[in-house]
Amino acid sequence: MGSEANKENDAIISCENLVKIYKTDDIEVVALQGLDLEVRRGELMAIVGNSGSGKSTLLNMLGGLDKPSAGSLYIDGRNLLKFTEKDYIDYKRNVVGFVWQNNARNLIPYLTAQQNVEMPMLLKGVKERRQRARELLTKVGLEHRMTSRLDQMSGGEQQRVAIAIALANKPKILLADEPTGSVDTKTSKQILDIFKELNRTENLTIVIVTHDVKLAKHIDRVVAIRDGKASSEIIRKRSYADELNELGGFESGNEEEKEEEITTEELAVLDRSGRVQLPKEYLDSLGIKGGSKVKVELNEDAGEIVVFKSD
């Protein structure tokens, strides 16, 4: 799949049969085993999965921090499997922005918020970096924290500075690794609202990686990864964009009431070979273990495939 295919379906990220294998002297670990995924340009989506599912490995490859072992990975029409070291440096400077869960990786503690945001632009030689840093901090609601240092800010404020830093060089894709993992529920919602606003106003493609499946209530598309493959997608039946339009562009009302009204649908993902991963709770309820044999029947009248436990 080349750049023309990306242009036709408007996918800014396209993974096909993506494989990542880590090798040591005595062991070989397959972190991704044939993952297929597409992310549309300007989409806000999340990737969820338990520890060891492969979601962090995928994020590292999307961010140019790790290289695929096999398969196909095109981002913004560029084939990452053919990247040189120079290509990776250019890619990380100009195409992707990263927000880490650990603020120690995002911020330099002895610098002010504004100086932290200016740093990526300083390394790139941007002349109007002071003005842009102030604009970005205002955009994330920190106009009152321009001169504050790390120890003078809360965890949520530090994470918002990290978002501003990630936006400094005008990336096309923002990657966020557990961005709400170390903050309380109220702050988590504020951070998620910032992502939604940036996605809406900047047409920025945002991919959030998390273990928190509750994000499915707030994001229109959530891809679940299990055992190194995309196993299912959770789709909000009522999109965030529809809610904004209905409210005239602003969020209002009781948040708990809104959450109760939200309905989602989980769809299993069929890979390119026709294989599908059944949800673990389904297997547990039927007493089916890995390696077991099952009976599969096609019900053409109902347009469905039925799986039975083998006797």
186 and 294 belong to one structural domain: no
Residue 35 belongs to some domain of the structure: no
129-139 and 155-167 helices, crossing angle to 10°: 130
Residue 136 belongs to some domain of the structure: yes
Residue 262 belongs to some domain of the structure: yes
- At residue 246, the pLDDT reads 52
- At residue 6, the pLDDT reads 43
Residue 8 belongs to some domain of the structure: no
What residue spans of 10-144 are helical by DSSP H? 55-62, 85-94, 103-106, 113-124, 129-139
- At residue 268, the pLDDT reads 56
265 and 284 belong to one structural domain: no
Residue 10 belongs to some domain of the structure: no
Residue 217 belongs to some domain of the structure: yes
For 224, the 3-state DSSP assignment is: strand
272 and 311 belong to one structural domain: no
- At residue 105, the pLDDT reads 76
Overall number of domains in the chain: 2
Residue 223 belongs to some domain of the structure: yes
- At residue 220, the pLDDT reads 83
Residue 7 belongs to some domain of the structure: no
50 and 111 belong to one structural domain: yes
226 and 286 belong to one structural domain: no
137 and 98 belong to one structural domain: yes
162 and 250 belong to one structural domain: yes
Residue 105, number of CB atoms within 10 A of its CB: 11
- At residue 283, the pLDDT reads 67
- At residue 204, the pLDDT reads 94
177 and 285 belong to one structural domain: no
- At residue 111, the pLDDT reads 94
165 and 296 belong to one structural domain: no
What are the pLDDT tens digits along the chain (311 aa)?
444 444 445 899 999 999 999 888 778 888 888 889 999 999 999 998 887 788 889 999 999 999 999 999 999 999 999 999 999 999 998 999 999 887 777 899 999 999 999 999 988 888 889 999 999 999 999 999 999 998 899 988 999 999 999 999 999 999 999 888 777 888 888 899 999 999 998 889 999 998 776 666 788 888 888 878 776 676 766 555 555 555 454 444 444 444 445 555 555 555 555 666 666 666 677 677 666 666 767 666 666 666 666 65
- What H or E segment, with its residue span, contains residue 308? strand 304-309
Domain of residue 304 covers 278-311
166 and 284 belong to one structural domain: no
Quote the CA–CA distance of 182 and 104 in Å, as a whole number: 12
Q: Locate tokens 């009152």: which residue?
A: 144
49 and 156 belong to one structural domain: yes
CA-based Rg of the chain, rounded to a whole angstrom? 21
| Distances, alpha carbon 89 to alpha carbons 48, 67, 77, 187, 232, in Å | 28, 13, 17, 33, 33
- At residue 247, the pLDDT reads 47
Strand order in the sheet with 173-177: 96-99, 173-177, 205-210, 44-48, 221-226, 229-236, 264-268
Quote the CA–CA distance of 204 and 76 in Å, as a whole number: 13
Output the domain CATH number for residue 202: 3.40.50.300
- At residue 162, the pLDDT reads 94
188 and 310 belong to one structural domain: no
Say what the pTM is.
0.78
- At residue 252, the pLDDT reads 41
